[in-house]
Amino acid sequence: MYYLFILLIGVERLAELAVSRRNADWSFARGGREFGRGHYPVMVGMHTALLLSCIAEVAVAHRPFIPALGWPMVAVVVASTVVRWWCVTTLGKHWNPRLIIVPGADLVRSGPYRWIHHPNYSAVAAEVVALPLVHSAWLTAIVFTIANAAVLRVRIRAENLALGYA
């Protein structure tokens, strides 16, 4: 079941990429400018490696499913996915994992952005910890939490500069 769960997360990521591609075309058609191009492939690679590492650690190290840990982590993954798609729907055509800014576009301050500048990244951070722990892949959880923090540090800095926060 865990492998199927990871597969579903992978399919969800592919859906995000389809939305991203459509939104990028829309943004570029309106004069959008892309920032932080260098870190985007690193983000994609890290998230792909996370999914593969979840599978590999469970298979190779024979990590057990521990219900007292696994079920709460499933809930965290589901909740983080809901928050991420809330961000996607709130930003509409402006949402993209690529950092594309359309000149003159208003800064979104509705939905989860009422409370926090980067709610999507909070949801991603929760998911990066929780997804491996669904099946007690603690090594993957540690390694990718650190990797995600490093990537988000670069990404948030670039995004804040692009949006004029800095």
pLDDT single digits (tens) 1-21: 999 999 999 999 999 999 999
**Over the stretch 37-82, which tens digit does the pLDDT of each residue have?**
899 999 999 999 999 999 999 999 999 999 999 999 999 999 999 9
Confidence of residue 25 (pLDDT cuts 50, 70, 90): very high
For residue 60, the enclosing domain spans 2-96+103-163
End-to-end CA, the chain: 45
φ/ψ of 99, rounded to 5, equals -95, 85
The number of domains in the chain is 1
Q: What is the pTM of this model?
A: 0.92
Q: Which of 81, 92, 42, 62 is nearest to 2 (CA)?
A: 62
